[in-house]
Amino acid sequence: SGVERLGDMIAEANTIVPFTGAGISTECGIPDFRSPGGLWTRNRPIPFDEFVASQDARDESWRRRFAMEDTFAAAKPGRGHRALASLHRAGKVPAVITQNIDNLHQASGFASDCVIELHGNTTYARCIGCGQAYQLDWVKRRFDKDGAAPNCTVCDEPVKTATISFGQAMPEDEMQRATELSQHCDLFIAIGSSLVVWPAAGFPMMAKNAGARLVIINREPTEQDDIADLVIRHDIGETLGPFVRN
């Protein structure tokens, strides 16, 4: 079966690089983007230039974030996160590349510098001008007091979740580290991503071109199934659960 072949490929590999998307966190109660009921089926994304230009867009963006707070705060790592953390402890997975912003790889036992966050992190905020970090509680208090999304106390530019929006520059260090990891692994496993958002979606092919085997685990077909050595079209928790070691 697919899971047995995956087990063999993991056993044979020296350096495994997992690349994760929102599908690894759905069993933790966090919705993905493009499945039925996903975030982009309910709300249109707010592009970065709109966030910068419009107080209304910033207010709307923060209202959406506050509405998700209980979901993010309650989420615990799932079987997929725990399986990857087990392989990390076993020395097979140097780091995980993720498009996710939910901090669950860190919560599962990866040190922060072993989580390459291509799209940032939603568990804290930053000023888009000077980069000053803010806790979400501070933003919430200011929003409730002023009835509007706050600006930075240092430079007066808008404060935003520390995530990457459409139209916003990708983080350079993370892109560089993800490139190196993709080019220096022997097994690359894309997990729970529709693989439609670029440049993130370029890493599976980059790994494949550099000689790695490519596995895709996703319950629906992805854009890149045709270049994979193994496609497991199945639930992530069930597929990776057998690799959890405590």
Partner in contact with 129, chosen from Zn ion, ligand OAD, none, beta carbon below 5 to 8 Å by kind: Zn ion
Q: Which amino acid is at 228?
A: A
Site for ligand OAD in 204-223 (CB under 6 A): 218-220
Q: How far is the CB of 65 from Zn ion (least distance, A)?
A: 19
Query: Exactly one of 150, 158, 192, 204 binds ligand OAD (CB under 6 A); which one?
Result: 192
Indicate whether 193 belongs to the interface with ligand OAD (CB under 6 A): yes
Indicate whether 241 belongs to the interface with ligand OAD (CB under 6 A): no
Q: Which residue has the tokens 């072993």?
A: 114
Residue 119, token pair as written in the block: 């799209």
Q: Are strands 159-163 and 187-191 parallel, antiparallel or unpaired?
A: unpaired
Site for Zn ion in 84-143 (CB under 5 A): 127, 129-130, 132
Q: How far is the CB of 119 from ligand OAD (least distance, A)?
A: 4
Indicate whether 35 belongs to the interface with ligand OAD (CB under 6 A): yes
Question: Which window, 102-110, 207-215, 223-231, 233-241, contacts ligand OAD (CB under 6 A)?
Answer: 233-241
User: Looking at the annotation, which residues are catalytic?
Assistant: 119
Q: Which amino acid is at 182?
A: S
Residue 138, token pair as written in the block: 């501070």
Separation between Cα atoms, residue 82 and residue 160, nearest integer Å? 30
Indicate whether 53 belongs to the interface with Zn ion (CB under 5 A): no
Grouping H, G, I as helix, E, B as strand and the rest as coil, residue 150 is coil
Integer distance in angstroms from the first to the last C-alpha of the chain?
25
# of chain residues touching ligand OAD (CB under 6 A): 24
- Order the strands of the 120-127 sheet from edge to edge: 133-134, 120-127, 159-163
Indicate whether 150 belongs to the interface with ligand OAD (CB under 6 A): no
Q: How far is the CB of 138 from ligand OAD (least distance, A)?
A: 23
98 φ/ψ angles, rounded to the nearest 5 degrees: -135, 145
Q: How far is the CB of 157 from ligand OAD (least distance, A)?
A: 20
Query: Exactly one of 90, 154, 196, 227 binds Zn ion (CB under 5 A); which one?
Result: 154
Separation between Cα atoms, residue 202 and residue 179, nearest integer Å? 10
Indicate whether 64 belongs to the interface with ligand OAD (CB under 6 A): no
In degrees, rounded to 5, the angle at the alpha carbon of residue 203 between the alpha carbons of residues 213 and 228 is 35
Question: Which window, 57-65, 109-117, 121-129, 232-240, contacts ligand OAD (CB under 6 A)?
Answer: 232-240
Grouping H, G, I as helix, E, B as strand and the rest as coil, residue 140 is helix
- Going by C-alpha positions, the residue among 177, 168, 245, 240 that lies closest to residue 24 is 240
Partner in contact with 132, chosen from ligand OAD, Zn ion, none, beta carbon below 5 to 8 Å by kind: Zn ion
Query: Exactly one of 21, 77, 150, 158 binds ligand OAD (CB under 6 A); which one?
Result: 21
Cα radius of gyration rounded to whole Å, the chain:
18
Residues near ligand OAD, by CB under 6 A: 21-23, 26-27, 32-35, 38, 99, 119, 164, 166, 192-194, 197, 218-220, 235-237
